[in-house]
Structure 1
């Protein structure tokens, strides 16, 4: 979950699915399908312009870079700052290709990532919080921001086949007023395992000292909290798995 500093309440419904006819910034690859040439490390700006061959680790805004790169190879975007612009204070609706379940809510539509009423509150508190009234997944509740100078945004995709799809949201942001502080993580839902959600962290510059991580069912109901403003608690490749059926979490690496 992300939130920002100003309460603009921009809601942008998105239909889940591959880009139709390779609409820009996607172009058709000879191997089949569409690739995002603003993000694809193997197709920087156009097909077969490979950044790794030039000793760069990622592609950002169509330019080879050593900033953190997007992990989803075939992604769709909910919001990408290089196209949609920088944003502060927004949440977005996404229609999903299959149902996912957290606590007692099963749905194919979410506000990323609230399963009910969402909000743009940016000051984190311990859980349960009154800032979000419904089922809410808080992968990194902090004062975060999308910068357009690099390909920051929210992306999503699926892996696997029915009835065991995984749905992956990828968040790539920086701290408000601190563009070189990177926060890059994935939130993974499992079609075949209702009630379970997984957080995978690639970058978290402040290590968790100014954030809340967890899940909650309501303002006063069940919740599972991993941390609230706890230094050195989120390292690169930390993986947290929350089971809302058992009200537990496990901490591991990937």
Structure 2
């Protein structure tokens, strides 16, 4: 008997989640990160590869037009909440035409500088460059408020703005900043492409945050030209840290999960200043066509597990087994997941984890080649067909109409193993030439036993073993169809019979030396 071992792969991340590291046996990669500065602020972005934060965009064009118009100008926006930044609180911000947001004071500085800088101080450099905003060219700056306390936000959007002296669609930028009541800062870039290559993708811009005293800050880029359209950057002094994670597979060397064999466990431990800061943990299995997502959420009082995205029923989350526990600063969360027979038969696939919290940069981890799903099934053994009247039958034998014939002798296992799926995962059937299915739903594939009542008609019946309640392409083994000839009116035992020589019309004789013997009988 082939014994399967259970593999527990455990990875402990001893460094901050924002630093890069390698996990054996699979490769690990993550989004671009930076910091922390001396105050603890850092950033993370949405660049490939996984795991990464998603691109975030709030359309502020449905909000309020600031009326900004001109070169080196600014507006004042009064906030409906207090925004925390480097230990200070701000209720007023000053967006400028040059892609800056002043917090300490308004600034129209057009010449971008490296970060940190003392001139100006206390700024958010969303896209600090020599830009202009002229409404006659369709340039706009909008803002919009949203959310409810204590989770309110304001978004400021620079819409179709250009470098000074340029106009037209091929030179326009669209980008925004979202400031959250929690202190989280998000910069997002819808379009950073321009036909002027010396300005393209931030080639002459500064992106980052600068402290109120100008002595520290976090720079994302400075005149580098690497800011691509579709990028989101998050800044915060808080972080949700993934401290360790583990996943359970069936066999050590192959890293195999068997479809519907058992719920496989994916576990993660995260930490924050307090467990109450952690709001959700998302597990993505994939990526690619087979990508699916499950999540755990915590609302401050109770937690919940649910499937987040699974349009093709590739998995089944088992909430009754899933658990979550915490201490003062940590959560340990266990997801239990069945892979279904619908899961694509592909090479080794990866997974990613992302943990979100209040006002915090999310923690992320994952592997690129962690597991594969075995969904192929095969028959082992040989079909045995037994009739009530004559016992074991051969292909082409006669049976009586109304006789019960039993099909057995085979069982179903995962390809190349001795493991059988559980009873509720599939069924074994025989199907006849008319498409009628006769199914064993009790012994499942382990020792199939299927009784079929023969019809009361003269007919040749053909039967074939099939695996049912799974996709057709899962079955690898196909036996030669088994034919039985049915006689609805079998003869009764004779009371006498005669042997004839040359023909059944000849006289009865006790023997005949010809190659043929002719018999007559009576019942």
TM-score normalized with structure 1 length:
0.62
| From 92, 113, 119, the counterpart of 1:109 | 92
Map of 2:75 onto structure 1? 92
Map of 1:157 onto structure 2? 144
Q: 1:101-250, aligned counterparts within 5 Å? A: 101-112=84-95, 113-133=101-121, 135-172=122-159, 173-180=161-168, 181-191=171-181, 193-194=182-183, 196-205=184-193, 206-218=200-212, 220-231=214-225, 233-244=226-237
For 1:111 and 1:71, the matched residues in 2 are separated by: 20
Q: 1:18-29, aligned counterparts within 5 Å? A: none
Indicate the structure whose relative CO is greater, using CA pairs within 8 Å and at least 6 residues apart.
Answer: 1
For 1:125 and 1:214, the matched residues in 2 are separated by: 11
Shift of 1:207: 0.4
Bigger proportion of residues as strand: 2
**How many residues of Structure 1 are paired with residues of Structure 2 in the alignment?**
172
Gaps of 5+ in 2: 1-57, 96-100, 194-199, 240-359, 363-523
SS in 2 for 1:179: coil
Map of 1:35 onto structure 2? none
Shift of 1:244: 3.9
SS in 2 for 1:174: strand
Runs of 4+ in 1 over 4 A off after TM superposition: none
For 1:73 and 1:165, the matched residues in 2 are separated by: 18
| From 69, 78, 95, the counterpart of 2:66 | 78
1:194-220 CA-partner distances (Å, limit 9, x unpaired): 2x2000101112101000000011454
The answer to whether the 8 A contact 1:224-1:249 is kept is no
Shift of 1:101: 1.5
For 2:204 and 2:78, the matched residues in 1 are separated by: 31
TM-score normalized with structure 2 length:
0.31
Shift of 1:117: 2.4
1:89-147 CA-partner distances (Å, limit 9, x unpaired): 112211111111221221211122111123222111111123213x2111000000112
Q: Structure 1 pair 155/242, CA: closer, same or farther in 2 (3 Å)?
A: same
SS in 2 for 1:234: coil
Bigger Rg, which one: 2
For 1:154 and 1:73, the matched residues in 2 are separated by: 8
Shift of 1:189: 1.1
Shift of 1:245: 5.1
For 1:157 and 1:123, the matched residues in 2 are separated by: 28
For 1:219 and 1:107, the matched residues in 2 are separated by: 14
Gaps of 5+ in 1: 1-69, 81-85
Shift of 1:153: 2.0
Map of 2:449 onto structure 1? none
The answer to whether the 8 A contact 2:137-2:167 is kept is no
